[in-house]
Chain A
Amino acid sequence: GAVVSQHPSRVICKSGTSVKIECRSLDFQATTMFWYRQFPKQSLMLMATSNEGSKATYEQGVEKDKFLINHASLTLSTLTVTSAHPEDSSFYICSATPRDRGLSYTFGSGTRLTVV
């Protein structure tokens, strides 16, 4: 089945630094990748949608200069949290839609970001 690998699973960084999270589709080409943020005991909140080779579409209220998304290939999308602050601490999850496997969404295992 479709597998999405997300790395790292956990990261701790200092305030003011940047952190990059990778999302890879291992056995399929992902036309579209989605990035979510999840706070404890809450639902997934969509941050942005990225299509290979084009700029990401950000949801209302999400700062695109702070959360940089790059979808340079059909198997890799990255989310960079720039100038991270403690309030950016959260669980970040990516999801990918296969190009040729019908309608489905496969999720990565998530990245726990802690900013100290």
Chain B
Amino acid sequence: QQQVKQSPQSLIVQKGGISIINCAYENTAFDYFPWYQQFPGKGPALLIAIRPDVSEKKEGRFTISFNKSAKQFSLHIMDSQPGDSATYFCAASMLGEKLTFGTGTRLTIIP
């Protein structure tokens, strides 16, 4: 019930393309869904987050799509750049409670 499943495990996208990472959750009590970006040797940094009362949120090149009925959410990175190469984690939590992380996606943007 606490799991968050993330796919793909790794992703290679050409520069300028769209990177898409998907997550699915089981616990319907989750009400906060963030995405984190992590570079090697650094802590995760919040990219964008969504609450279940909206189906989409966009911040710059990053968009979260949220499907409450399917219990799925995804991260879209538009116009992907080499600097976006990092590991991305989805997560979910109930208000103020501990985060449950997905398994991570290693994204590589190639020229």
Closest chain A residue, CB of each to CB of B106 = A41
Q: Which size bracket describes the interface of A in this complex?
A: 20 to 34
Total residues of chain B contacting the partner, CB 8 A: 21
A binding-site residues for B, Cβ under 8 Å: 6, 32, 34, 41-44, 46, 49, 91, 93, 95, 97, 103-110, 112
Count of A-B contacts with CB under 8 A? 46
Closest 7 CB pairs of A and B: A107-B43, A110-B43, A109-B43, A43-B101, A93-B43, A107-B44, A44-B101
Choose among B46, B89, B98 the residue that contacts A43 (Cβ–Cβ < 8 A).
Answer: B89
Q: How far is the CA of A72 from the CA of B68 in the complex (A)?
A: 39
Q: How far is the CA of A109 from the CA of B102 in the complex (A)?
A: 19
Instruction: Jot down 6 A-B pairs with beta carbons below 8 A, ordered by A.
Output: A34-B98, A34-B99, A43-B104, A44-B44, A46-B98, A107-B44
Q: How far is the CA of A6 from the CA of B102 in the complex (A)?
A: 23
Residues in A neighbouring B101, C-beta threshold 8 A: 43-44
Docked-complex contact B89 and A105, CB < 8 angstroms:
no
Residues in B neighbouring A41, C-beta threshold 8 A: 104, 106
B37 → chain A closest CB, angstroms: 11
Q: How far is the CA of A107 from the CA of B44 in the complex (A)?
A: 6
Residues in A neighbouring B99, C-beta threshold 8 A: 34, 46, 95, 105
B7 → chain A closest CB, angstroms: 13
58-111 of chain B: CB within 8 A of chain A: 89, 93, 95-96, 98-99, 101-104, 106
